[in-house]
Amino acid sequence: MGQDIKVEIKVECTMSSQHQPERNCKANLTLSCHDQDKSVEINETVTRRISPRFIIYDPNLGDYRPTSQAFQNSESNHPMSVGIRSMLKSPEEDLIGYNDMSLVELDVKLLRALAQGVCKCPTRHCPWHGLACGNKTGSVRSAISKSARWLVRRPPAHNGPKAASKQDPRRG
């Protein structure tokens, strides 16, 4: 098996009033996930939920695809959440409670080639939860986006190629 994941959580709170103590709370999360972590096998696949706002029509493909924005770490640099595909009974299981979301599949081999560590990080509600850790530059996110395969595709936030072209004034 792989190395353990190190997690440190530090919470600092200052009370702005007696009635809203959590208003000024900040949590710092340090989490490391190494490429050498073998807890997720190299031939495994992982899933990623895709928000409807991160689905665009790509005229080069003649189809919809997830944008690279769907494959980034959080604003606080928390690693990208994924689902460990072999631990899911079905792809739809990863979408329970996320009725408007779509789902894609990614190869761990590709993620590791892009310097992304992939490790298990189960939660109480998602025992199949994992993390893809690493710096997600624009080119890394773009490569992940282009390699994503739809498992469940729901409607995007817009209504198709015409709506997509209206959003970009550079298109004719």
pLDDT in tens, 77-120: 889 999 999 999 999 999 999 999 999 999 999 999 999 999 99
DSSP 46-61: EEEEE-GGGEEEETTT
Under the banding of pLDDT at 50, 70 and 90, the label for residue 161 is low
Q: What is the DSSP string of 95-113?
A: GTT-TT-EEEEEEHHHHHH
Ramachandran region of residue 100, left (φ > 0), alpha (ψ -120 to 50) or beta? alpha
C-beta separation of 147 from 110 below 8 A: yes
Indicate the pTM of the whole model: 0.72
- Report the C-alpha gap between 153 and 95 in whole angstroms: 11
Cα dihedral: 134, 50, 70, 53 (round 10)? -160
Backbone angles phi, psi at 113, to 5 degrees: -65, -25
Place of tokens 């198709």: 160
Is there a contact between 104 and 57 (Cβ–Cβ < 8 Å)?
Answer: no
Give the pLDDT confidence of 17-64 residue by residue, as tens digits.
444 434 344 444 444 555 445 578 899 999 999 999 999 999 998 999
